[in-house]
Amino acid sequence: MSLLRKKFAAGAAFLALGGFLAACDTDDDAADDMEIVEEGEDVVTAASITDDADEVVASLSTEGNWITAIIADVTVDEDITVAGTFYDGGDEAEAEYRKLALYAQDEDRNVTDEYTLTVPMMTVESPNFRIQNGTVDGDVYVDAEGFELEEATITGNLTFASEDIESSATMNGTVEGEVSVDE
């Protein structure tokens, strides 16, 4: 591929990603959602938009991204650990924040589709982790403060590592299994 075609392809991908992240943003400053790093001819962002199970696992790991958005139903056969400290928009000057977006939106931020992440167990070790819209089909164990369930469903059990962690959670979603504290 010629250099010009590579730059054009990278630019087109960047514009498409920017539009999606703007649609996923809950703030008015959609441009703040992307941290862009130039590495030679490649453009890298601090977000992961995928329908690949391995990419979902990697994106939620310590070396992952501040936002993981799935664009179709995804099944992960192994347990997932959401680990590491991340910041809103990938900017360390911002608040600690991490998000799993299980939905698509239009340019007016209306949810147009919701997706299911099927996983045996998701362990949350990242502070201020939000699961927004869609469904986590499996169990969730929370061992970090500030967990948020926002208009999402957990089909399995939701277990908090302590009462302090449970009291720091925001629950604006549905848990079909049992909610408990593991103390």
Residue showing tokens 């514009």:
15
Give me the amino acid identity at 154.
I
Residue 2 clears pLDDT 90, i.e. is over it = no
CA-angle at 118, arms to 112 and 121, nearest 5°: 130
Residue showing tokens 């992307």:
34
Maximum separation of any 2 CA atoms in the chain, in Å: 60
The residues spanned by each domain of the chain are: 48-181
Q: How far is CA 131 from the centre of its chain?
A: 7
Of 13-17, 144-148, 157-161, minimum mean pLDDT range: 13-17
pLDDT tens digits for 87-104?
Answer: 988 889 999 999 999 999
Residue 183 clears pLDDT 80, i.e. is over it = no
Strand spans (E) along 40-110: 42-44, 47-50, 67-70, 74-75, 80-82, 98-101, 103-105
In which band, very low, low, confident or very high, does the pLDDT at 11 lie, cut at 50, 70 and 90? very low
Looking at the chain, the whole-number percentage of residues with pLDDT higher than 70 is: 75
Question: What pLDDT score does 46 carry?
Answer: 54
Q: Which of 47, 44, 45 is nearest to 60 (CA)?
A: 47
